[in-house]
């Protein structure tokens, strides 16, 4: 018992003295900027679908068929939340990363279902969402140090 140290001197989690890499920090900031852009683009697509639902022409016999106005509201809401989560990611908030990953998954799924309405736009947003998910999951902690 005399060779033991008090419990207060033990570290409960690993501590790294080296600063975060500039590459990882740059990726997270870039992911935050992409979240802001993707949220803005998705909000724009939602506003167009809400106010002018004849803009989008759908294909027949697609599995998920909704009215363009319904898709507009879905894109508008998800886009606004992704936009605000992008600002939280850039400020280094942990909850911003969690919300960012969750919303990027939801955004990718909603854009997958939106493919028959606007295929190239949807695929571009899906590609942005995949990069955002990777950057936040792989290097998310490096910004908060």
The structural domains of the chain, with segments of one domain joined by +, span 38-53+66-145
Which region, left, alpha or beta, applies to residue 92 given φ > 0 means left and ψ of -120 to 50 means alpha? Answer: left
| Tokens linked to 21 | 């890499």
| Structure letter (DSSP) for residue 92 | T
33-61 pLDDT tens trace: 888 887 888 888 888 878 876 666 555 66
Residue 132 has pLDDT above 70, yes or no: yes
CA-CA distance, 31 to 100, in Å (whole number)?
A: 9
Q: What are 88-106's pLDDT values in tens digits?
A: 888 878 888 888 889 889 8
- Residue 9's pLDDT is what? 55
Residue 107 contacts residue 42 (beta carbons within 8 Å) = yes
- Does 77 have pLDDT greater than 80? yes
List, in sequence order, the alpha helices (H) in 15-139: 22-51, 68-90, 94-113, 119-139
The pTM assigned to this predicted structure is 0.65
Secondary structure of residue 116 in the 3-state scheme: coil
**Contact assessment for residue 39 and residue 108, using Cβ atoms and an 8 Å cutoff:** no
Share of the chain above pLDDT 70, in %: 70
Q: Quick check: 84 pLDDT over 70?
A: yes
């Amino acid at each position: 018992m005399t060779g033991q140290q008090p419990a207060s001197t033990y570290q409960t989690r690993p501590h790294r003295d080296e600063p975060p890499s500039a590459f990882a920090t740059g990726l997270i900031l870039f992911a935050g900027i992409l979240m802001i852009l993707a949220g803005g683009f998705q909000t724009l697509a939602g506003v167009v679908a809400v106010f002018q639902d004849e803009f989008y022409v759908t294909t027949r016999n697609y599995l998920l068929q909704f009215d363009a106005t319904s898709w507009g509201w879905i894109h508008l809401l998800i886009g606004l939340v992704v936009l605000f989560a992008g600002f939280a990611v850039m400020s280094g908030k942990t909850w911003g990363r969690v919300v960012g990953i969750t919303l990027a998954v939801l955004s990718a799924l909603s854009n997958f279902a939106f493919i028959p309405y606007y295929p190239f736009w949807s695929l571009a947003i899906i590609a942005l969402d995949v990069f955002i998910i990777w950057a936040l999951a792989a290097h998310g902690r490096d910004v908060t140090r």
